[in-house]
Amino acid sequence: MSNFKDIINQETPVLVDFFATWCGPCKMMQPVLDQLKEDWGNKIRVLKIDVDKNPKAAAQFGIRGVPTLILFKKGEMLWRESGAFPLNSLKNKLERFV
- Candidates 15, 16, 20, 26; catalytic one: 26
Phi, psi for residue 44 in degrees, rounded to 5: -150, 150
Average pLDDT of the chain, as a whole number: 95
Summarised one tens digit per residue, pLDDT across range 87-96 is 999 999 999 9
- Candidates 16, 20, 23, 71; catalytic one: 23
DSSP H or E stretch at residue 62 = none
To the query of whether residue 75 is one of the catalytic residues in this protein, the response is no
Q: Which residues of the chain have pLDDT under 70?
A: 1-2
pTM: 0.94
To the query of whether residue 51 is one of the catalytic residues in this protein, the response is no
Query: Cβ-count burial of 79 within 10 angstroms (0-12 exposed, 13-18 middle, 19+ buried)?
Result: middle
What angle do the packed helices 87-94 and 24-40 form, to 10 degrees?
60
Q: Which domains does the chain have, with CATH numbers?
A: 2-94 (3.40.30.10)
